[in-house]
Chain A
Amino acid sequence: MSASEAAADDFDTCFRDLFARVARTAALVSRDAGLGPDIAQEAFARLYERWDRIDSAEHARNFAFRVAVNLARSHLRRRLAVPFGLRGPERPQADTTASSDAWLVLVDALGELSPRQRACVVLVDYADLDAAAAAAALGMAEATVRVHLMRGRRALRTKLSIVDQEVEP
Chain B
Amino acid sequence: MTADPAIKDRLTRATDPLPVDVESQLRHLHDNRRARLVRQRVGVFAVAAMVALLAVAVVWRLLPLGTANLPAGPASPSGTLALMTGSVSQPGRPFNFFDLATLRIGNGGSTAPLEHTNERATFPEWSPDGTKLAYLTGEPPRRVLVVANADGSEPINFAAVLTGDGFAWSPDGMRIAYRARTGPGGENVADTLVVTSLTGDSAKYASLHGAWQAFDWSPDGRTFVFTGDPNVPASQDLTSPPSQLWIQNLDSSGLRRLVDGMTVATPHWSPDGSKIVFACHDAAEVGDRFDICLINADGSGFVRLTDGKELNAAPVWSPDGQWIAFASDRATSPSSLGVNRNADGRVAMSVFVMRPDGTDVRQVAPADDGRVLAPTGWRL
Which of chain A's residues have a CB closer than 8 A to the CB of B1? 124, 130-131, 146, 169
Of the candidates B22, B26, B29, the one having the most CB atoms from chain A within 10 angstroms of its own CB is B29
Are B18 and A44 closer than 8 Å at their CB atoms? no
Judged by a CB distance under 8 angstroms, whether A78 is at the interface is no
A158 to B303, CA, bound (A): 100
Are B29 and A126 closer than 8 Å at their CB atoms? no
- With contact pairs A23-B18, A122-B11 given, residues A85 and B39 touching in the complex (Cβ less than 8 Å): yes
Closest B residue to A106 using CB positions:
B14
- With contact pairs A20-B20, A37-B20, A48-B33 given, residues A88 and B28 touching in the complex (Cβ less than 8 Å): yes
Which of chain B's residues have a CB closer than 8 A to the CB of A33? 18
Are A97 and B36 closer than 8 Å at their CB atoms? no
Judged by a CB distance under 8 angstroms, whether B7 is at the interface is yes
Q: Contact partner of A20 among B7, B22, B36, CB < 8 A?
A: B22
Which of chain B's residues have a CB closer than 8 A to the CB of A156? 7
Which of chain A's residues have a CB closer than 8 A to the CB of B39? 84-85
Nearest Cβ in chain A — how far from B35, in angstroms? 8
Closest B residue to A95 using CB positions:
B19
Are B4 and A153 closer than 8 Å at their CB atoms? yes
- With contact pairs A166-B4, A169-B1 given, residues A36 and B20 touching in the complex (Cβ less than 8 Å): yes
Q: Interface size (B, Cβ < 8 Å)?
A: 31
A167 to B10, CA, bound (A): 15
Which of chain A's residues have a CB closer than 8 A to the CB of B21? 89
Of the candidates B11, B14, B29, B33, the one having the most CB atoms from chain A within 10 angstroms of its own CB is B14
Which of chain A's residues have a CB closer than 8 A to the CB of B5? 164, 167
Which of chain B's residues have a CB closer than 8 A to the CB of A66? none
Which of chain B's residues have a CB closer than 8 A to the CB of A16? 22-23, 26
Are B29 and A15 closer than 8 Å at their CB atoms? yes
Which of chain B's residues have a CB closer than 8 A to the CB of A147? none
A27 to B19, CA, bound (A): 11
Q: Contact partner of A102 among B3, B14, B26, B36, CB < 8 A?
A: B14
Are A19 and B20 closer than 8 Å at their CB atoms? yes
Interface residues of B in 33-81 (CB under 8 A from A): 33, 35-36, 39
Which of chain B's residues have a CB closer than 8 A to the CB of A91? 19
Judged by a CB distance under 8 angstroms, whether A162 is at the interface is yes
Are B11 and A19 closer than 8 Å at their CB atoms? no
Nearest Cβ in chain A — how far from B9, in angstroms? 9
Judged by a CB distance under 8 angstroms, whether A136 is at the interface is no
Are A40 and B4 closer than 8 Å at their CB atoms? no
Judged by a CB distance under 8 angstroms, whether B12 is at the interface is yes
- With contact pairs A162-B6, A167-B3 given, residues A125 and B26 touching in the complex (Cβ less than 8 Å): no
Are B29 and A41 closer than 8 Å at their CB atoms? yes
Are A128 and B20 closer than 8 Å at their CB atoms? no
A103 to B5, CA, bound (A): 18
Which of chain B's residues have a CB closer than 8 A to the CB of A106? 10-11, 14-15
A44 to B7, CA, bound (A): 27
Judged by a CB distance under 8 angstroms, whether A121 is at the interface is yes
Which of chain A's residues have a CB closer than 8 A to the CB of B14? 100, 102-103, 105-106
Query: 8 A-B residue contacts at CB 8 Å?
Result: A27-B18, A28-B11, A28-B15, A37-B25, A97-B17, A121-B7, A124-B1, A167-B5
In the complex, besides A45-B29, A88-B28, 18 extra interface pairs with C-beta distance below 8 angstroms are A23-B20, A24-B15, A33-B18, A41-B29, A45-B33, A85-B35, A85-B39, A95-B19, A97-B19, A103-B15, A103-B18, A125-B11, A128-B3, A131-B1, A153-B7, A160-B7, A160-B10, A162-B7
Interface set of B (CB-CB < 8 Å, partner A): 1-8, 10-15, 17-26, 28-29, 32-33, 35-36, 39
Interface set of A (CB-CB < 8 Å, partner B): 12, 15-16, 19-20, 23-24, 27-28, 33, 36-37, 40-41, 44-45, 48, 84-86, 88-89, 91-92, 95-97, 100, 102-103, 105-106, 121-122, 124-126, 128, 130-131, 146, 153, 156-157, 160, 162, 164, 166-167, 169
